[in-house]
């Protein structure tokens, strides 16, 4: 089911409120999403040199990029556990964004695409998100579970045994 333009703008309201598009080259979010019924959608991981280096992980869903900040990068083995802090939705065009967000702007610092590709959503529920990444650097199954005990926006990112 495709989101209406009004619904899409509401999803991006926090994103727009945090940015001055006369100062930043970040995309403003005018592009509509691709076919909502396709089985594989885009993902991107952006290396973000802000106050502290972290990785921004984004999954295409409902016409936007659902987003999380991952302070220590993606898990490489089933033993690795990573904190993923949910952030505001970003426009689909952000998947192609690389550049420097100016000093004084939200998220100021350099943004570089670390990995990009498609993903297949297996489960998307309030208690678990499971997906399969098909990127240039990362492939395979990953799971995110909420850490409600530590705040509404905190998730645990895992690479389960295949």
Provide, rounded to the nearest whole percent, the portion of the chain with pLDDT above 70: 91
Q: Is the pTM of this model over 0.85?
A: yes
Secondary structure (3-state) at 91: strand
Tell me: pLDDT of 34 over 60.
Answer: no
Give me the mean pLDDT over the 54-61 stretch.
97
DSSP state of 77: S
Distance CA 149, CA 58 (A): 23
Report residue 5's pLDDT band, with 50, 70 and 90 as the boundaries. low
Report residue 40's pLDDT band, with 50, 70 and 90 as the boundaries. confident
Distance CA 57, CA 46 (A): 7
Report residue 1's pLDDT band, with 50, 70 and 90 as the boundaries. very low
Provide the mean pLDDT of the chain. Answer: 90
Instruction: Note every long-range contact of 147-153, with CB atoms under 8 Å and residues 24 or more positions apart, other chains counting.
Output: 147/83, 152/86, 153/85, 153/86, 153/87
Q: What is the rounded (10 degree) CA torsion for 16, 152, 68, 28?
A: -10
């Amino acid at each position: 089911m495709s989101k209406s333009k009004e619904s899409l703008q509401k999803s991006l309201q926090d994103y727009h409120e945090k940015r001055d598009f006369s100062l930043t080259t970040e995309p403003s979010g005018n592009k509509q999403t691709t076919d909502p019924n396709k089985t594989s959608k885009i993902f991107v991981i952006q290396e973000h040199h802000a106050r502290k280096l972290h990785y921004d992980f984004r999954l295409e869903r409902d016409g936007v990029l659902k987003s999380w900040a991952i302070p220590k990068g993606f898990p490489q083995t089933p033993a690795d556990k990573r904190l993923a802090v949910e952030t505001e939705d970003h426009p689909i065009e952000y998947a192609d964004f690389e550049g420097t967000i100016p000093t004084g702007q939200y998220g100021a610092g350099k943004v570089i695409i670390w990995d990009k590709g498609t993903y297949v959503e297996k489960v998307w529920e309030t208690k678990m998100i499971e997906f399969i990444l098909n990127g240039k650097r990362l492939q395979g199954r990953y799971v995110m579970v909420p850490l409600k005990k530590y705040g509404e926006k905190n998730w645990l990112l895992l690479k389960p045994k295949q």
